Structure 1
Amino acid sequence: MHHVSTRKIHVSLLALAAGTVVATASAPALAQNTEIVVTARKVEENLQDVPVAVTAFSGETFEEAGLSEFSDISRLTPNFDVRPRGTTGALFANLTIRGQTSGFLTLNADQAVGISINNAPITRGTSLFTNLFDIERIEVLKGPQGTLYGKNTTGGAVNVVTKGPELDEINGYGQFTYGSYDRTDAQLVANIPLVQDQLGIRLGAALTHRDGFGRGVATGRELADDNEIFLRGSLLYEPSDTFSVRVNADYHDVDESISIFRSLRSAFLDLGFAVIPIALETTDPDFYAGSDFRTEAPFARSDEFNINATANLEIGNANLQSITSYRKQNSLTLVQSAPSTSVTLGQNSDLFAQEIRLSGQAFDDRLTWQVGGFYSTETGEDIDNVGGFQTTAAKNEGWSLFTQNSFAITDQLQFTLGLRYTNEDREVRDISPVVTGLLQNSASFDALSWLASLDFKPTDETLFYASVSRGFRSGAVDQDNLATIVNPEYVLNYELGLKADLFDNRVRFNSSVFYSDYTDIQRTAFDPDSIGTTGVPTTVLRNAAEATIWGFEGELHVAPFDGLSFGATVGYTNAQFDEFLDFDAAGNQIDRTNEPLGGPEWQYSLNGRYEFYVSDSATLGIQANYFWIGEDVLAAPSVIAILAPGEGSVPSFGLLNGQIDLDVEQWGGLNIAVFGTNILDKEYYVGGVALGLFGGISNRIVGEPQQWGIRVTKGF
């Protein structure tokens, strides 16, 4: 593929990359680190006062770092990784926090990382490689969050908060971006008070387009393009100081070609009368040439609609909050990793959720308390088309009761205790035209999640904390074998943390160390009985293993003087199975004890930004960001032994982004930014799949090449 070149931009940003000191994301360009307000514990608090490992940053910081997609959050957050699924590509995401991987794609099982947007839960990892816009802040909570966020947050939770209406003035902005591969993005946001200081609305639309940077080896067709439509509206009604309602609604449509798959080896199935190719080695030297076998043009499509309402009522010294949400999503992609079969994978689902919580303070504000309940119901179908039929339908229904309370023992010492009881019902039905086994099955699960923590503030600028927490991921009915039911998996996590603002708030250092005991791990494994019955190995879901996870993370932000900020983030996770007896494709038992659980061990980022006035009303900013992530092992040692060296993992990679921006305060505000991503033009893989079937299969998903662009934002 030929890269679009903008010579002036290219020269400017290479000079920036060479001349700018690089260090971490999210430090503001001020003489002091500013206060960041988060809702990590469902109440507004200063980030530095929260005894939880939280990475938080604003939408402005996100954009200045040259980032635009939900998946890019991982590039600012230690021990957090977002990768495309090995068989479906970027339509479905795989999230990992501290060795806890989001898990299975299907509706019959749940993710290990919770996601919420404006307090509304997002239970499925579809459309996470898509663009964010008009964002207020992003919060990533690490470690089990089972008390306040519920089941399936054994790894952590991600909160995205969009900007809401302002009730005092009309404002907004328009933005246009042009860049490599004919990138043409546009955003328009308008904030309109309808009743002064009482009622307002915020409307936004975003359109993204970028030609594909890849091509199909067999067909020459374009791959890896970007085409999205995003519409959002937010209504805020605040008739008094004691009552408010905010309603958010959005629609998101994605219609793109697939990710670029490259096969590192060929694999064939010998039927006796014919040999069918399962994978064909990609020999084209162009790194951005990938698999494209079908007569039908490759596609990845999704659309989703979300609506949620948050109501707050002050009752004396207490606050009553109601969060109601509904989400409908549809997705479908044409799998291009195997030439022998025509396969489309996707999912349709409807989710309704309701949360009620009452919170307040007592005993001269020494006690901060919360109690509440949660209910959700989700229905849908998992699509696995081989010849045009759907395989399974699922229904998930659950409720929980919870409480979390913090008591100030002294002015410096605080104790927190939380408890949540969850009850879950699941039902899975086979809706294939020809049913070969059980028609349907159902199961019920319940569990307790809890948290106990102690935090100590020797000074107003320093916080030490210690915590122990238990979270769980719900049990499941095996989609491929409905007779199989697996129990919940549990994580018991121990953590020590430090948060400090030093040297008159010019240095911010947050760090934590953690140790997790992970039991009853749900894993798919080969069923040896199926080989003798059918001759073809099949997989079964089961509680297969136990593991230990430990590691640390740190974030440093330094603002030595006006305009200059830099720092660093680092994360290390050691996740290994303690006990895991499995089977290979031939039915032989293998011992996978002590092998890596999954996810990279090391991850770090560096960033530096310098702002200075070029006139009384104009500021010039120069920024560079570097992100590095370690090797991700894809397969067990028995599979890796079949493959060639390097085919069983995704290699480590590092990416450099840069930006030069001019901000003019006059005329309602004008910002012009010239930016580059993957400035060093690194060729790298972002995901893959490795299997021991048919002599070994190893496919990889290609990451984005070097790109340049200019972005103009005009406020009003």
Structure 2
Amino acid sequence: MRVSHKLLTVASPIALLSGAPALAQAADQPAGASADESSATQDIVVTAQRREQSLLKVPLAISVVGNEALQSKGISASSELASAVPNLQVSSPFSIIPNFTMRGIGVGNEYNANQASPVGVYIDDAYVASRASQGLQIFDLERVEVLRGPQGTLYGRNTTGGAINFVTRAPKLSGNNGFVELGYGNFDDRQAQAAVELTLVDDQLGLRIAGTYEKNDGLIRNVVPGTPRPNSTDSLSGRVTLRIKPGNGAVDIRLKGFAARSDGTQVGVHGITASRAGLGFFETAHGIVAEQPMRVQGGQANIKIDISDRITLNSVTSLQSGKGYVVQEADGSPLPVLYDDLRSETKEFNQEIRLNYDTDRLHLVGGAYYGSDRNATNNLFNIGGTTGFLQSFVQKRKSYAAFAQGDFNLSSDLVLTAGIRYTRDKSRYEDGKSFFVVLPFEAGPVTQVLQTVFGTDVPASRQCATKPDNSVNLCDSEGAVTGKIGLSYTLANGTLLFASASRGYRAGAVNGGGFTSARGIFYVAPEKVNAFEAGFKGRYFDNSLTAAVSAFYYDYTNQQLQDVRTDNTIVGPAPVSFLLNAPKSEIYGLEGEFQLRVSPALTLNASIGYLHATYKQLELGTLLDANSVPIPGSGTRLDGNDLTQAPRWSIQAGFDWRAFAVAGGDVRLNGNVNYYSRQWLSPWNEKNGAGSGSKNQELVQPGYAKVNGEISWEKGNVRVSAWAKNLFNEKTYAYGLDLYSGGLGYNYLAVANPRTYGARVRFSF
């Protein structure tokens, strides 16, 4: 009854609003639409349910950002996607690695590269396991589909928060076209994008080549002479797509190869308080600012075969590899207090087979999935410039799944949706080693810290065979059943009403940050979310208004988060990083998206999200006895605290106005404002652990609003624009981490970008 009460509390506005509608960002107009025709009146086709459907007929909360909206809003990185989607937070605290938080579910304060995001990221329907690779292919897109809420049936593991599918542009097989775009902005920012599409055989064979480049001097000023500026960009990416539709078009093959590199510098950090004397918010005093090189390359094959009028077979195969060096000075001072060199090499393979069966009464999707990935990590934690820890391990994961989901038309207006998925995940943590070293290395000594001495939380069944080198080796295998059941009903005016119950799952994990003691290295349980959602979507007032509103309630268990405790190690008492589960959390909220076509020249859009996300059971900072056994009740209870990156309110509003004609072309104005209420960057919120010396009250981002805008002139195939992001130079943090509890005496606060502005010119052909 409690669940239904909470859901009714947040869902009650739906009954009041069902005469007015809400929208996701519009995709591009279809070919042949007039320039003045609002995309609000066009059908947007998505593949959120693994088949093509009109956006307004999909019974779930989904936002779509099309190519035109990506351009006009200046969204060129995954970290900027939050400006177009309610209840979505995106931060990049380390290099270009994005942290997605959707409806309060994200990586939280966990920072290990071997961890999977609870918001699944897909590129052309292929899962991307490596978080370092998720920010390197965001260019020349057809659209971005953002599915909010657990997607445990059709998308599977690691989607407790939701899923994001980046759909790249593929050859249309109907002519030659392309574009070249050049831009320049403050901080000496140089940008270039280009694409060319060639139809080699009409309706049968086409090729598209696209690339992007950006380089700037760094967006944060560093006052230490001779040291580079933080927050710089130096990236180059390319993609080649070949599309083949032989014969009568029953077979559609899309082959893609891609490569990307990024060599930007670390983010600017507010760290040791004494080092910030006299500095402005967008100034730092880093003694070391190094490049953070990232590389990724791979290929993908999407094959669609129409076996008959009713049966379609889809195959998605992807293979990619990459390497990344997150070189991070974490103290924000000229002194070498804490310097991290985090290196990893990844390989991953994914294969999914789907079969679609369609009749007048039944739409069925079924299939199987296999994925494997490997992460080889070598880290150096340099403490004080004279000592440090060398850490290394290899993580191997395999995932197997079978799934099916059907839409059953109980009548012409009423549809029952039911789906189920079984997932089996296997994981190995191998050759885990860590050495305490005196720097430089030739000074010695070298002491092995990690040995096969496991904490009490590691059962014998998960302890792999001991190796002669005393490395730590763990094994894990787990299975999960997820699914969905829902009803949708279409009213006479076209409004779609929907309600559903679903379950999401995030695989268990091992602590990649355990480098001072084996006590902190063990598998933590999988996350699970039981979600209940209801909403509506439709068009109103002669199709001038589009609206989508949904209310949701989550019963969230075993969120994975980080905790630092003091423990006895081989080198004496030292901070030990633990990866733990938060036993229970509660999340509920309401969100709406709206687009209003005021006239053929003016379109308004708005979205609003309300979110209540709190821990119901959580204890951190638990003390350990002389045998490193946790002392029950010795920690700090954090029941009732907010989850991290979960503002109560997120509001976006904007306009697109084709204002007037000049010199034979159209002047177009586009602007938006994005407001977020206060959000905590640590699960401790304002509380501090006894004896930790922490100042967690500093790990908060107060409410703020950022304004972005663009003015453009378009004539034929030429477009010239001037743009600004964060127009009023709001001072905000992207991420925060408590380092007081680790004995370092300060907090880590990553600075978000200041105001940027510039101009672009685009030639299309």
What is the TM-score of this pair, normalised by structure 1?
0.89
- Secondary structure, counterpart of 1:536 in structure 2: strand
Check if 1:202 corresponds to 2:208.
yes
CA spacing shift, 1:436–1:70, aligned 2, 3 Å? closer
1:675 alignment partner, one of 718, 723, 737: 723
Matches within 5 A, 1:348-497: 348-362=345-359, 365-386=360-381, 389-432=390-433, 434=448, 436-438=450-452, 439-459=472-492, 461-479=494-512, 480=514, 481=518, 484-497=522-535
Q: Partners in 1 of 2:128 and 2:698 — Cα distance?
A: 33
Q: Partners in 2 of 1:687 and 1:529 — Cα distance?
A: 26
Q: CA deviation at 1:704?
A: 1.8
Check if 1:714 corresponds to 2:763.
yes
2:281 alignment partner, one of 284, 287, 291: 287
CA spacing shift, 1:310–1:622, aligned 2, 3 Å? same
Gaps of 5+ in 1: 1-22, 267-279
Matches within 5 A, 1:67-82: 67-82=75-90
Q: CA deviation at 1:610?
A: 0.7
Check if 1:259 corresponds to 2:297.
no
How many residue pairs were aligned? 670
Q: Partners in 1 of 2:117 and 2:663 — Cα distance?
A: 51
AA at the equivalent of 2:588? W
CA spacing shift, 1:477–1:700, aligned 2, 3 Å? closer
Q: CA deviation at 1:237?
A: 0.1
Cα displacement string for residues 67-109 of structure 1 (whole angstroms, at most 9, x for unaligned residues): 2111111111001101123xxx333222100111136444654
- Secondary structure, counterpart of 1:335 in structure 2: strand
Q: Partners in 2 of 1:131 and 1:653 — Cα distance?
A: 29
Q: Partners in 1 of 2:505 and 2:107 — Cα distance?
A: 12
Check if 1:651 corresponds to 2:702.
yes
Check if 1:593 corresponds to 2:626.
no
Residue in 2 that maps onto 1:92: 97
Residue in 1 that maps onto 2:441: none
Check if 1:306 corresponds to 2:301.
no
Q: CA deviation at 1:648?
A: 2.3
CA spacing shift, 1:140–1:616, aligned 2, 3 Å? same
Residue in 2 that maps onto 1:697: 746
Conserved? CA contact 2:262–2:293, under 8 Å? yes
1:535 alignment partner, one of 544, 550, 573: 573
Cα displacement string for residues 533-581 of structure 1 (whole angstroms, at most 9, x for unaligned residues): 9322313223342111111111010002111000211112111111112
Cα displacement string for residues 119-154 of structure 1 (whole angstroms, at most 9, x for unaligned residues): 111123225556732111011000000100011100
Check if 1:502 corresponds to 2:540.
yes
Identity among equivalent pairs (%): 27
Conserved? CA contact 2:432–2:473, under 8 Å? no
CA spacing shift, 1:129–1:664, aligned 2, 3 Å? same
Conserved? CA contact 2:739–2:745, under 8 Å? yes
Conserved? CA contact 2:24–2:64, under 8 Å? no
Residue in 2 that maps onto 1:183: 189
Cα displacement string for residues 597-643 of structure 1 (whole angstroms, at most 9, x for unaligned residues): 22222211110111156279632211111112222212314338955
Residue in 1 that maps onto 2:439: none
Matches within 5 A, 1:47-58: 47-58=55-66
Greater fraction of residues in strand: 1
Bigger mean CA offset, 96-105 vs 654-663: 96-105
Residue in 2 that maps onto 1:327: 320
AA at the equivalent of 2:146? V
Bigger mean CA offset, 182-191 vs 96-105: 96-105
CA spacing shift, 1:540–1:389, aligned 2, 3 Å? closer
Q: Partners in 2 of 1:377 and 1:131 — Cα distance?
A: 20
Conserved? CA contact 2:129–2:373, under 8 Å? no
Conserved? CA contact 1:24–1:625, under 8 Å? no
- Secondary structure, counterpart of 1:60 in structure 2: helix
Residue in 2 that maps onto 1:605: 652
Q: Partners in 1 of 2:559 and 2:367 — Cα distance?
A: 29
1:114 alignment partner, one of 117, 120, 127: 120
Q: Partners in 2 of 1:395 and 1:284 — Cα distance?
A: 48
Residue in 1 that maps onto 2:228: 221
Check if 1:581 corresponds to 2:619.
yes
Q: CA deviation at 1:389?
A: 4.6
Q: Partners in 2 of 1:476 and 1:181 — Cα distance?
A: 40
Residue in 2 that maps onto 1:7: none
Residue in 2 that maps onto 1:625: 672
AA at the equivalent of 2:641? E
AA at the equivalent of 1:393? V
Q: Partners in 1 of 2:290 and 2:663 — Cα distance?
A: 53
AA at the equivalent of 1:673? S
Residue in 2 that maps onto 1:664: 715
Check if 1:344 corresponds to 2:349.
no
Residue in 1 that maps onto 2:245: 238
Q: Partners in 1 of 2:216 and 2:59 — Cα distance?
A: 42
Residue in 2 that maps onto 1:276: none
Larger RCO (CA within 8 A; separation ≥ 6):
1
- Secondary structure, counterpart of 1:391 in structure 2: strand
- Secondary structure, counterpart of 2:353 in structure 1: strand
Conserved? CA contact 2:255–2:300, under 8 Å? yes
Conserved? CA contact 1:291–1:337, under 8 Å? no
Cα displacement string for residues 352-402 of structure 1 (whole angstroms, at most 9, x for unaligned residues): 00000100113xx11000110000111121232236955111100110000
Q: CA deviation at 1:221?
A: 2.8
AA at the equivalent of 1:56? V
Q: CA deviation at 1:526?
A: 4.1
Cα displacement string for residues 32-79 of structure 1 (whole angstroms, at most 9, x for unaligned residues): 532211111111111100001001020210110122111111111001
AA at the equivalent of 1:333? V
Residue in 1 that maps onto 2:610: 572
Q: Partners in 2 of 1:568 and 1:465 — Cα distance?
A: 22
Conserved? CA contact 1:640–1:647, under 8 Å? no
Q: Partners in 1 of 2:623 and 2:275 — Cα distance?
A: 22
AA at the equivalent of 2:214? T
Q: Partners in 2 of 1:388 and 1:644 — Cα distance?
A: 26
Conserved? CA contact 1:80–1:96, under 8 Å? yes
